[in-house]
Amino acid sequence: MAAMKLARSLSLSVRGLRMHCTHWGRDDAPLLIMLHGWGDAGASFQFVVDALAQDWHVVAPDWRGFGRSDWAPDGYWFPDYLADLDALVSELSPETAVHLVGHSMGGNIACLYAGIRPRRVASVVAIDAFGLADRPADEAPGRYEKWLNGLAATPPWRQYDSFDALAERLRRRNPRLDEAKAMFLARVLGRSCDDGKVTLSADPAHQRVNPVLYRRAEAEACWRRARAPVMWIEPEDETLRQELGVDAAQIATAKACFSDFREHLIPNAGHNLHHDVPEQIAELIESFVLAAHNGSPA
């Protein structure tokens, strides 16, 4: 943690909301856009950035309603993340295709965007981001009802006595975190309350169920349009896939959608590979992105 690279803050107006971005490196260095997952924030890519060997300008936005970005008054809809990314890409790199690195939700957004705007994407690194299981249509009535009920009363996040207590909670959820990393992440993900307690900085409205069912066929249609090289980095542990109901057949179909695809499996890591094994993630990102930039196979 003593060798942390200097992080700076950047605020951009994106589609009527203030988007906070954490960025590292020289503004004239090659650009990497890193997209965090649900419940996370852009600054948590610090460990990966610290391990990068080359000079990069890394920009990691906080999605709307997460981190230090504005909360959306009308709630959160997945297509808005695509529109926010589109606006961010236009702001940061209006003429040149970009290299995207995304974890979990951020990786799913990056893979979809690569097919929706294929000319705007030079490469995609998706970290444990394989989509969700398809949902049957007969779930729709109950899902809409649950969403309506949630609109009436959205509970606040749990409060903690201190940032140390939040850090301890993060370590219980992910025992691979050491004390220093957990404390850093507590400061990234938490905020102080007026009463001296600590809570998560994200909008509590993110707890509401999404009323729109996931349609995997639509995601696959987007993936098939992607022309940039795509690399998935996955933990060997398949616990999350099993919990989400994404089976081996769906994974195989997903991989086949991409015209230029490769995959790396990482042992002894959980879902948050960018926290657990940042050195391995940084090495894979750099070799892949540099190869894509130079037009050679990784």
CB 133 within 8 A of CB 125: no
DSSP-based three-state secondary structure for 248 = helix
Q: Is 297 a residue whose pLDDT tops 70?
A: no
CB 129 within 8 A of CB 106: yes
- Reported as a single tens digit per residue, the pLDDT across 105-134 is 999 999 999 999 999 999 999 999 999 999
CB 154 within 8 A of CB 205: yes
| Residue 2 binned pLDDT confidence (cut-offs 50, 70, 90) | low
Tokens of 107: 């990786």
- Reported as a single tens digit per residue, the pLDDT across 49-59 is 999 999 999 99
Query: Cα(298)–Cα(284) distance, rounded to whole angstroms?
Result: 9
According to the model, what pLDDT value does residue 69 have? 98
DSSP-based three-state secondary structure for 59 = strand
**Residue 236: Cβ within 10 Å count:** 9
DSSP-based three-state secondary structure for 106 = helix
Q: Is 168 a residue whose pLDDT tops 80?
A: yes
DSSP-based three-state secondary structure for 126 = strand
- Reported as a single tens digit per residue, the pLDDT across 178-237 is 999 999 999 999 999 999 999 999 999 999 999 999 999 999 999 999 999 999 999 998
| Domains of the chain with CATH codes | 1-134+215-298 (3.40.50.1820)
Q: Cα angle at 9 between 37 and 60, to 5 degrees? A: 25
Q: Is 298 a residue whose pLDDT tops 80?
A: no
Query: Cα(51)–Cα(3) distance, rounded to whole angstroms?
Result: 10
| Residue 1 binned pLDDT confidence (cut-offs 50, 70, 90) | low
Tell me, what DSSP letter sits at residue 267?
S
According to the model, what pLDDT value does residue 88 have? 98
Q: Is 240 a residue whose pLDDT tops 70?
A: yes
How far is residue 182 from each of residues 1, 162, 168, 172, 193, measured CA to CA in Å? 11, 13, 7, 10, 20
- Reported as a single tens digit per residue, the pLDDT across 13-42 is 999 999 999 999 999 999 999 999 999 999
